[in-house]
Structure 1
Amino acid sequence: MTTPTVLFVCVHNAGRSQMAAGFLSHLAGDAIEVLSAGSQPGNAVNPVAVEAMAEVGIDIAGAQPKVLTTDAVQASDVVVTMGCGDECPYFPGKRYEDWVLEDPAGQDITVVRRVRDEIRARVESLIASLDPQEGTP
C-alpha cells in the first residue's frame, strides 16, 4: 500500500497553501504525505493565516515558504493549485485540482477565517476522494 502525496501550490506559499497543508496534515495524519510550495515564495507565512489556524488548534507558525520545483510536482499524486496560474508545471497522468480561493494576503482576520473554513471543507473532500485506507489516489 502506497501513501498518496498531495502538493498544494499558491504564488507565495504563505497563506492558502500553508493552511491547506496544515489541515491535511492534521486531519489525515500519516495516511497522506503533504507538500506545499509557491511559484514566487514569500519570506514568511502570513501571520494572520497563522492566527486563523491557531484558532482551530493547528500550528503553522513554524512553516517556511518553499519554492515550487519540478521534482515536487513529479513526486505528487495530486497537485492542488490556488491561483498560481500558468507557472505550475504540468505532467500528464497527475491529478490536478484548481481551487479558486480569495488571497488572504493583506486581509483582516474575518476574511482569512472565511478562506480558512473554505479550505478545510475542500481538504475534507480531498481526503474522502483519496480514501487513505485504500492508499489509492
Structure 2
Amino acid sequence: MCRAKNAESIRNGHISWYEDSLTITFAHMKNDQDGSRPRDPRHVYSNPIMPEVCPVLGLAIYFAVLGFSPDGKLFAGENQYSRFLKVLKGILNRDVMNVTLAEVSMSATPVFSLSNESQLQ
C-alpha cells in the first residue's frame, strides 16, 4: 500500500522481482524528504485464487496494452494524482456506491479523510 502521490512518481526502473514477489522501490516518501533513509522495496504478491484482483496480472495487462519502457514512468502523462482523485470522488459519490457501502456498514468518509480534502472538492 502506498500514498497515491507516491504512486504517481513510480518509474518502470523502480520495479523488479525478488523471489516470488514483484518489488517497487519508491524514490520519494513522505517520511523521508531528504532521502537519507535506506530504500526498502514494497513487495507485491500475485493472487492466483482471485485473478480479477491480482495486482501482478493487472500490471501485466497494463504493460501488454500500453507497452513497457524501462526508463519511462509507470503512469505516463501529467497530473495523474489529480486525475486519480477526480475519478475516485466520482466513484465514491455515486448513489449505488453509497448503497453498497451502507449494506456492509461502511461509508466513503474514511477514504476522503485519507486524501487531500481540498483536492476532492
* Common topology (TM > 0.5): no
Return the structure number with greater helix share: 2
Please give the TM-score of this superposition, normalised by the length of structure 1: 0.31
Q: Compute the TM-score of the two structures, normalised by the length of structure 2.
A: 0.33
